[in-house]
Structure 1
Amino acid sequence: MFVRTTYATGDPATLDEAVQALTTEGRRQLAGEPGFRGAGMFADRELGKLVTGTWWEDEAAMRASADRMEKVRAQVLSSFATTVTVDNWEAAVAARAESVPEGARFRLVRLDLAPSDADSLVDAFENGVLPRLRTMTGFLGGSLLVDRAAGRGAVGTLYADKDSLAASRSPVAALRGEATSRARATLRSLEEFEVVMVESPPPS
């Protein structure tokens, strides 16, 4: 599968208005797109940051939706966003959560690496990091997204609540160090968010 991410920042006071628009009009538009396979939305209400990810069955479906969704995005984020960054990714490893309770939390890690090391990063996450994450209390799911040509990666992980997210920080820091060393990757950012919505793939 493939994923389009949007990273928007703006006035925290208007973030809820954007969330409302995304979960109504934005969601309605997405549901009608061929190849749409689910979405997630994550917020930092204190700083005014909003991250979304939309899942697509293949790269062709993701790219075919680009122009239509750009218009929708501009409309629903107009009251909030002062900066918007959109990226397209391959979902190299996807262990998606079966269900996400209210109060769940999300951690986002972004990485830089040589394009030739992308497979090493995939192996490190799939066979090293993910099995150990699955043993942690409150872990719900996680995915590794890669842009092989640009030499970039993004890891998103879901936790059941604020306490399990906090408890994971020390052991996950060690895992992160091992994986980045193995894949010769450089950490670009580490952020944590409130989960606003995680939507499973629509019925086929």
Structure 2
Amino acid sequence: MFVRTTYATGDPAKLDPAVRALATDGKQQLFQEPGFRGAGLFVDREVGKLMTGTWWEDEEALRASADRMGELRARMLTDFASTVTVDTWEAAVASRPASVGEGARFRLVRLSFAPAEADTLAGTFENDVLPRLRDMGGFLGGSLLVDRAGGRGVVGALYADRDSLAASRGPVAALRGQATAKARATVQSVEEFEVVMVEAVAPS
């Protein structure tokens, strides 16, 4: 699968109307798109950050939706966003819950790596990282998205609530250090978000 992410920042006071629009009208439009396979919506209300991820069954579906999704972003984010960054990724490893409960949290880790090491990173995440994450209380699912040519990646992990996210910080920091050393990757940033929505759509 392939994923398009949108990362927007702006005035925290203007965040909630954008979130409501994306979670209602935006969600409705997405479900009408050919090849759409799910979405996530994550926010940091204090700072004024918003991130979305939309999942597509293949690269063709992702590309075919680009213009319509661009129009949707412009309509939904204009009043809130002062900066908007859009990226596309290959889902190298994905363990996605069908949905999450109220109060769920999300951790995002940005990585850089030598393009030749993409498969090493994917293997490390699938075989070393995910099994240990699954043993942690409150872990719901996680994915590794990569831009092979650009040597960039993001790891997203979902937790059931604020407490399980907080309890995971120490163990995950140690695991992150071990995994990035093995995969010869570099951590660029770590962020945490409130989960507004996670939806997964089974192939028809």
2:58 is equivalent to residue 58 of structure 1: yes
SS across alignment from 2:33: coil
Return 5+ residue gaps in structure 1 as ranges: none
Residues 131 and 195 of structure 1, relative CA distance in 2, 3 Å threshold: same
2:112 is equivalent to residue 141 of structure 1: no
- 1-structure distance, mates of 2:8, 2:119: 29
- 2-structure distance, mates of 1:158, 1:83: 25
SS across alignment from 1:179: helix
The CA deviation at 1:97 is 1.2
- 2-structure distance, mates of 1:14, 1:189: 25
Task: State the TM-score, normalized to the length of structure 1.
Answer: 0.98
2:85 is equivalent to residue 82 of structure 1: no
SS across alignment from 1:85: strand
Runs of 4+ in 1 over 2 A off after TM superposition: none
Question: What is residue 125 of structure 2 aligned with on the other side?
Answer: 125
* Fraction of identical pairs, as percent: 74
* Equivalent residue runs for 1:84-123 within 5 Å: 84-123=84-123
- 1-structure distance, mates of 2:63, 2:37: 14
Question: What is residue 23 of structure 1 aligned with on the other side?
Answer: 23
The CA deviation at 1:202 is 5.7
For 2:159, give the aligned amino acid: Y
SS across alignment from 1:54: strand
Q: Are the counterparts in 2 of residues 31 and 202 from structure 1 also a CA contact under 8 Å?
A: no
Question: What is residue 67 of structure 2 aligned with on the other side?
Answer: 67
The CA deviation at 1:99 is 3.2
SS across alignment from 2:137: coil
RMSD: 0.9
SS across alignment from 1:5: strand
- 2-structure distance, mates of 1:101, 1:67: 32
Q: Are the counterparts in 2 of residues 41 and 196 from structure 1 also a CA contact under 8 Å?
A: yes
- 2-structure distance, mates of 1:175, 1:144: 15
The alignment of Structure 1 onto Structure 2 pairs a total of residues equal to 204
Q: Are the counterparts in 2 of residues 125 and 179 from structure 1 also a CA contact under 8 Å?
A: yes
SS across alignment from 1:71: helix
Task: State the TM-score, normalized to the length of structure 2.
Answer: 0.98
For 2:199, give the aligned amino acid: E
SS across alignment from 1:99: coil
Question: What is residue 176 of structure 1 aligned with on the other side?
Answer: 176
- 2-structure distance, mates of 1:92, 1:202: 18
1:34-89 alpha-carbon deviations (Å, 9 max, x no partner): 00001000000000000000000001000110011101100000110000000000
